[in-house]
């Protein structure tokens, strides 16, 4: 609230300064400029579209109908934060007021204003925190009053008791102590002045014992008057003169220091420029060397890259050939495994047929032994009686019939076994050829060299375990002999 009121007071003075004819109205162009400057100083986002909308030239804008305050409250004061420069803000408003009301005061007034400014500068330069804190606690009128006391060389002021000239009674007066004079008034408003007491180097101060006098206040006045008379005896300037002199010396030292800093800055800039030129020269030389080295490295990299690409192409071709060979070998191995599986199955079939033939041969041998035994028994039974002979003949007929049936069944089983044997034999004959062709292909791919062996004059049957124990001709002869044996046995039985 206080910040807003302070801003409104300053803006009101600026608005009054722009109102030349005292009609309470300001042109829209001036208000636009004022609004724009206020937005810049107060660090408020400036919206040109809203500004033109409110300051339209058709006399129907919100500023024309409602005045400047709604726009000011909504778009400027309503968005103000506590991050702007108050000095710049007051300087803007004061500039508008100065243009309308030029100063007509006397040179003494200007001198006093200059002393006030110098005093404030001195306080800020010395950084007296206690003084600054004291100034911060004062209101505007108290601060102005303190500045006026300083300008008028007022060292101390307050009420004291004074004895009258005509009437010898004590009266309370308002005393004002300056550098070389003490003035006293009826009251602190300084309207009715009663007299002056001049101070020089010949003055002396005497302390009187009075009733109802505060010792602290008394000591303060005694010390203040002593501090006033002592510089007069020594002939030294007043305190504000000394402060002004110190301020000038400080400003002079600051200017000398600034000049020294500027000269050093120029020297540093010249040195930096020369160093920068030398570094630029070195950089250019380094860049040229780097460019040459980079070109050489680039050519070498190109050559290496070309060689690598050629090697990669060659390796790719070799890898492709190797993969093709691997695929062919895998295909060949798959087929070879199928062939080996067929051969293994044929060997199993051959083993089954061989076991079947062995079983048939064993059964045939046992049957033949039984028939021979039975034939011997028949020969022995011939010598028996006719009844027994007849009975034996009947029994022989029955047994012969059963034997005939068994022989027929055995013959049929033998034929079936022979057919199975022929099929297995055919498969066995085809399996070596098929295996041989795949082995030849494998030997061709693997680059193997096998010795050429002479062919056998009597080729044997080839089984899964190698050559058979007998040839094909011997097998046929044994089959013929077996058939003859079966025929002879039948004739004996008949």
Contact between 424 and 353 (Cβ < 8 Å): yes
By residue range, what is the domain housing residue 53? 1-102
pLDDT of residue 160: 84
Contact between 428 and 462 (Cβ < 8 Å): yes
The packing angle between helices 239-381 and 107-126, to 10°, is: 40
Q: What is the mean pLDDT of residues 275-299?
A: 88
Residues of the chain by 3-state class (helix, strand, coil), percent to 5: 70, 5, 20
Mean pLDDT is highest, among 120-134, 156-170, 225-239, 257-271, for 257-271
Contacts of 115 (CB under 8 A, 6+ apart): 150, 151, 240, 244
Mean pLDDT is highest, among 126-130, 135-139, 318-322, for 318-322
Q: Write out pLDDT tens, residues 370-400.
A: 888 888 887 776 666 666 667 777 887 888 8
Instruction: Decide: helix, strand or coil at residue 281.
Output: helix
Q: What is the mean pLDDT of residues 221-233?
A: 80
pLDDT band at 493 (very low <50, low <70, confident <90, very high): very low
Q: Above 80 in pLDDT, residue 235?
A: no
Q: Write out pLDDT tens, residues 155-174.
A: 788 888 888 777 778 888 89
Q: Residue 80: inside a domain, yes or no?
A: yes
Task: Tell me 153's DSSP state.
Answer: T
pLDDT band at 99 (very low <50, low <70, confident <90, very high): low
pLDDT of residue 7: 83
Q: Above 60 in pLDDT, residue 494?
A: no
Q: What element of type H or E holds 298? A: helix 239-381
How far apart (Å, rounded) are the C-alpha atoms in residues 285 and 377? Answer: 132
**Exposure string for 410-449, b = 16+ CB within 10 A, e = fewer:** eeeebeeeeebbeebbebbeebeebbeebeeeeeeeeeee
pTM for this model (two decimals)? 0.29
Q: Residue 90: inside a domain, yes or no?
A: yes
- In whole numbers, what is the pLDDT of the chain averaged over residues? 75
Q: Residue 35: inside a domain, yes or no?
A: yes
Q: What is the dihedral of CA 154, 159, 165, 169, to 10 degrees?
A: -170
Q: What is the mean pLDDT of residues 420-447?
A: 68
Q: Write out pLDDT tens, residues 331-353.
A: 999 998 998 898 889 888 888 88
pLDDT of residue 442: 59
pLDDT of residue 120: 55
Contact between 441 and 332 (Cβ < 8 Å): yes
pLDDT band at 101 (very low <50, low <70, confident <90, very high): very low
Least confident interval from 3-7, 213-217, 401-405, 435-439: 435-439
Q: Above 60 in pLDDT, residue 105?
A: no
Q: Residue 38: inside a domain, yes or no?
A: yes
Q: Above 80 in pLDDT, residue 457?
A: no
Q: Above 50 in pLDDT, residue 297?
A: yes
The whole-angstrom distance between residue 317's C-alpha and the CA centroid of its chain comes to 45
Q: Residue 335: inside a domain, yes or no?
A: no
Q: Above 70 in pLDDT, residue 404?
A: yes
pLDDT of residue 304: 92
For residue 93, count other CB atoms closer than 10 A to its CB: 22
How far apart (Å, rounded) are the C-alpha atoms in residues 32 and 83? Answer: 23
Instruction: Decide: helix, strand or coil at residue 210.
Output: coil
Higher-confidence residue of 262 and 143: namely: 262
Q: Above 70 in pLDDT, residue 144?
A: no
Q: Write out pLDDT tens, residues 191-221.
A: 888 888 888 878 887 776 665 556 778 888 8
Q: Above 60 in pLDDT, residue 124?
A: no
Q: Above 60 in pLDDT, residue 477?
A: yes
The whole-angstrom distance between residue 352's C-alpha and the CA centroid of its chain comes to 77
Q: Above 50 in pLDDT, residue 117?
A: yes
Instruction: Decide: helix, strand or coil at residue 183.
Output: strand
Q: Residue 438: inside a domain, yes or no?
A: no
Q: Which long-range contacts (CB under 8 A, 24 or more apart) does 173-179 make?
A: 175/221, 177/221, 177/224, 177/225, 177/228, 178/152, 178/153, 178/154, 178/228, 179/153, 179/155, 179/228, 179/231, 179/232, 179/238
Q: What is the mean pLDDT of residues 250-256?
A: 86
pLDDT band at 128 (very low <50, low <70, confident <90, very high): very low
Which one, of 445, 251, 257, 427, lies nearest residue 336 by Cα?
Answer: 445
Q: Above 70 in pLDDT, residue 491?
A: no
Q: Above 80 in pLDDT, residue 431?
A: no
pLDDT of residue 239: 60
Q: Residue 481: inside a domain, yes or no?
A: no
Q: What is the mean pLDDT of residues 286-315?
A: 89
Total domain count, the chain? 1
Q: Residue 374: inside a domain, yes or no?
A: no
């Amino acid at each position: 609230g206080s910040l807003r009121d302070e801003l409104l007071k300053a803006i009101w003075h600026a608005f009054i300064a722009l109102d030349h004819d005292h009609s309470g109205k300001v042109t829209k162009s001036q208000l636009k400029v004022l609004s724009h400057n206020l937005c810049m100083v107060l660090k408020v986002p400036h919206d040109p579209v809203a500004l033109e909308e409110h300051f339209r030239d058709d006399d129907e804008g919100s500023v024309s109908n409602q005045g400047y305050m709604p726009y000011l409250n909504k778009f400027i004061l309503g968005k103000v934060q506590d991050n702007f420069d108050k000095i710049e803000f007051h300087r803007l408003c004061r500039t508008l007021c100065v243009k309308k009301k030029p100063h007509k005061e006397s040179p003494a007034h200007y001198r006093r204003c200059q002393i006030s400014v110098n005093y404030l500068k001195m306080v800020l330069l010395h950084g007296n925190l206690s003084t600054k804190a004291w100034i911060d606690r004062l209101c505007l009128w108290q601060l102005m009053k303190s500045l006026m006391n300083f300008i008028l060389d007022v060292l101390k002021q307050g009420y004291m008791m004074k004895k009258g000239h005509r009437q010898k009674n004590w009266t309370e007066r308002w005393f004002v102590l300056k550098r070389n004079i003490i003035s006293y008034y009826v009251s602190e408003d300084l309207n009715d002045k009663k007299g002056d007491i001049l101070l020089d180097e010949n003055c002396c101060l005497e302390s009187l014992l009075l009733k109802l006098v505060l010792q602290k206040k008394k000591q303060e006045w005694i010390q203040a008057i002593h501090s006033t008379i002592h510089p007069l005896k020594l002939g030294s300037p007043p305190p504000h003169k000394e402060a002004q002199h110190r301020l000038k010396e400080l400003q002079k030292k600051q200017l000398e220091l600034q000049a020294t800093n500027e000269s050093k800055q120029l020297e540093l800039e010249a040195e930096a420029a020369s160093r920068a030129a030398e570094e630029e020269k070195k950089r250019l030389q380094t860049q040229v060397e780097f460019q040459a080295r980079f070109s050489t490295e680039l050519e070498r990299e190109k050559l290496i890259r070309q060689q690598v690409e050629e090697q990669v192409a060659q390796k790719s071709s070799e890898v492709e050939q190797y993969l093709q060979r691997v695929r062919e070998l895998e295909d060949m191995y798959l087929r070879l495994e199928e062939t080996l599986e067929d051969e293994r199955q044929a060997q199993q079939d051959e083993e089954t047929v061989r076991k079947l033939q062995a079983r048939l041969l064993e059964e045939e041998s046992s049957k033949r032994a039984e028939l021979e035994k039975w034939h011997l028994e028949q020969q022995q039974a011939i010598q028996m009686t006719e009844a027994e002979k007849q009975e034996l003949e009947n029994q022989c007929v029955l047994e012969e019939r059963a034997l005939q049936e068994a022989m027929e069944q055995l013959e049929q089983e033998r034929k079936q076994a022979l057919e199975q044997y022929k099929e297995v034999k055919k498969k066995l004959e085809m399996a070596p050829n098929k295996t041989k062709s795949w082995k030849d292909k494998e030997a061709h791919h693997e680059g193997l060299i096998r010795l050429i062996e002479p062919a056998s004059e009597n080729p044997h049957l080839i089984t899964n375990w190698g050559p058979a124990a007998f040839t094909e001709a011997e097998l046929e002869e044994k089959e013929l002999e077996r058939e003859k044996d079966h025929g002879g046995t039948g004739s004996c039985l008949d």
